[in-house]
């Protein structure tokens, strides 16, 4: 059983994004990025009411830019998916969820301590260089 519907192309795309965004943080860091992708597709709230697949999430444009910087700037994102990252993506899609990204919809690398909120959303936790943020209480029950 999966959290969201997906195809083999979705797995490849998600694997590429996970690697591009977090390869330097190892398998766990890539899994946390995968959680955020799945959570955004599952969420039916805030900025995520019109995204339902990994592809929708990864290519979502907000404020004139892609939501994930790797789509615009990441040469690693445009390299073929590798089997190791495909396995991680499938694991995410089949319900792997863990703190700090278990319910997170956002993450970023601040190059400084993680702020307690980010655009009004509470800090969920940190893994290596990435800070993860969950939706504020009552603002997005569909992610839980």
> What pLDDT, on a 0 to 100 scale, did the predictor assign at position 125?
98
DSSP string, 27-94: HHHHHHHHHHHHHHHH--SGGGTT--SHHHHHT-EETTEESSHHHHH-GGGGSPP-HHHHHHHHHHHT
Give the C-alpha separation, 50 to 62, whole Å. 12
Peptide bond connecting 100 to the previous residue in cis, omega within 30 degrees of 0: yes
Residue 1 pLDDT > 80, yes or no?
A: no
Q: Predicted confidence band at 6 (pLDDT cuts at 50, 70, 90)?
A: very high
pTM above 0.75, yes or no: yes
Task: Count CB atoms within 10 A of the CB of residue 114.
Answer: 20
For the chain, domain boundaries: 8-143
Give 26-76 pLDDT, tens digit per residue: 999 999 999 999 999 999 999 999 999 999 999 999 999 999 999 998 889
């Amino acid at each position: 059983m999966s959290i969201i519907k997906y195809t083999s192309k979705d797995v490849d795309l998600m694997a590429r994004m996970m690697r591009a965004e977090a390869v330097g943080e190892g398998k766990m860091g890539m899994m946390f990025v995968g959680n955020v992708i799945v959570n955004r597709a599952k969420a039916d709230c805030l900025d995520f009411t019109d995204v339902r697949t990994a592809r929708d999430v990864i290519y979502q444009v907000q404020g004139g830019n892609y939501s994930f910087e790797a789509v615009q700037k990441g040469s690693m994102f445009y390299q073929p998916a590798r089997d190791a990252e495909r396995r991680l993506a499938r694991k995410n899609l089949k319900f792997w969820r863990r703190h700090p990204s278990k319910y997170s919809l956002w993450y970023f690398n601040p190059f400084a301590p993680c702020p307690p909120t980010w655009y009004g959303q509470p800090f969920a936790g940190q893994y290596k260089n990435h800070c993860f943020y969950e939706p504020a209480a009552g603002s997005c029950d569909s992610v839980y």
